Structure 1
Amino acid sequence: MPVTRKGPFESDSVVEAIRAAIVSGDYVPDQRLVEADLSERFSVSRGAVRSALLQLDNEGLVERVPHRGARVRAVSLAEAIEITEVRMAVEGLCAAKAAQRVAEAEIDELWQIREQMIAAVGTGAVMAYSGLNNRLHRRIVEMSGQSTAESVIERLRGQSVRHQFRLALRPGRPLVSLPEHLAIIDAICSRDPVAAEQTARRHLGSVIEALRDASAPTALT
């Protein structure tokens, strides 16, 4: 949907819009991002687009090629695995901190997500489960109170999201990841930081193994 907001927050709006379009696959790896086209699509100035592309370049979602403009950066499988290895360390820390800080209302929220994940897998609602997966990971980081970790993880997740999305759609993958997610939730709700960190790291280790298994030429572009 075009962004129409003007004024001092215009650049922030178009950053969010372009980022969402890249993450959702509207713009594919190596596709050129033409300032004039983006300006028209999102109803913002070319200056705002230029600023947004610079920020997305810093985030690693976009790369600027001399004399050729900007394009969506392609992230290789090897890089996606490296990114997930970093996430494993940082998100493990966040899970431990969340277990130490979690409030009763947040425990209730995590149990709601838990029940919704079980229901989604039970009915084969893969896209709903994928959305709950992302929500759970984000909420754990937010509950941890680790603002630096949050900014790092958001940047890394954005870079590897295509590989993660493909992985989420692989037949049988939700049946593997569901018990891993439930174990993380149970540890945090039990306020057990050691178990929370271990289960979070174990889950992302499983993601890494699944990414490696998906390295066949027919599985990735």
Structure 2
Amino acid sequence: MSTTAIAQDAPPRPDLAQQLREAIQNAEFAPHQRLIEADLSERYGASRASVRTALLNLTNEGLVERLPNKGARVRAITIEEAVEIVEVRTGLESLVARKAAERLSDADAAALHAVRDGITAAVASGDLVEYSRLNQEMDRRLREVSGHATAVQLLERLRAQSARHQFRLGFLPGRAATSAPEHIAIIDAVLARDPDAAEAATRVHLGGIIELLRAMD
């Protein structure tokens, strides 16, 4: 087999900026932690130039900040800023929920039913890690079904900035018992193909997140 054929058969290399973005979201790097190009290059098996480009992209997204003569570090998002981000997300996610309810196919509905059942089971068993994963799966499917590329692109950037605070909220004692019915209400509204109800349920859910964030301040 030729080298060209091997290269064509090889899986695509994960986007470095996305890998770093997910690492920051998942608290693998702490707020204010320095992001040293040489260390990142070794960790991800990437060139220094690729690391530099990825850090520049994340700086533009607000996840990383560059300090004079000190390089890059993870930018800390304040509670006040996190609240503002969720306020903006409310409009975008409400739009996504509306579009998802309008465009839902039978195949999409079956997938959402499975997510709904999984959320119920995860909360009943107290599996918060699985519950968190299913919440992300729900969000991903709604974005895909909505077909609204602009809203999805903006949401991905905003979510990255507020992910750390929401991760903390997700593991607060008793939080799942409150948030699960809210997520199920969103799913049920979309399954009913009711755009108004989908928007209203989304606003209720994100309004609760804003209240919790403010209580943390």
Q: Which amino acid aligns with 1:86?
A: V
Quote the Cα distance in structure 2 between the aligned partners of 1:183 and 1:132: 15
Which residue identity lines up with residue 184 of structure 1 in the other structure? Answer: I
Q: TM-score, normalised by structure 2?
A: 0.92
Instruction: Tell me which residue corresponds to 1:144.
Output: 146
DSSP 3-state at the match of 1:44: coil
SS at match of 2:73: strand
Unaligned regions of 5+ residues in structure 1, if any? 216-221
**Superimposed CA distance per residue, residues 146-186 of structure 1 (whole angstroms, 9 cap, x where no aligned partner):** 10111110111111111000000000001101111111111
How far, CA to CA, are the matches of 1:13 and 1:184 in structure 2? 31
Per-residue deviation, residues 6-50 of structure 1 (Å, max 9, x unmatched): xxx76x622122112111111110011111111111111000000
User: Quick one: distance in 1 between partners of 2:93 and 2:15?
Assistant: 27
What fraction of aligned residue pairs are identical, expressed as a percent?
Answer: 51
1:119 and 2:121 are equivalent in the alignment: yes
The amino acid that maps onto 1:214 is: M
Structure-2 separation of matches of 1:83 and 1:118: 28
The alignment partner of 2:205 has SS state of helix
Equivalent position to 2:75, from 73, 76, 92: 73
Structure 2 gaps, min length 5: 1-6
- Shift in Å at residue 211 of structure 1? 1.4
2:115 counterpart of 1:110:
no
Residue identity matched to 2:37 = E
Runs ≥4 residues deviating over 3 A: none
Q: Kindly report the root-mean-square deviation, in angstroms, between the aligned alpha carbons of the 2 structures.
A: 1.5
Which residue in 1 is equivalent to 2:53?
Answer: 51
Separation (CA, whole Å) in 1 of partners of 2:32 and 2:94: 32
Deviations 1:74-126 (A, max 9, x none): 00011111101111110001100100000001001111000000000000001
Letter in 2 for 1:195: A
Stretch deviating more after TM superposition (58-67 or 84-93): 58-67
Question: 2:4 matched to which residue of 1?
Answer: none
The alignment covers a number of residue pairs equal to 208
Q: Give the equivalent residue in structure 1 for 2:102.
A: 100
Deviation at 1:141, TM superposition (A): 1.5
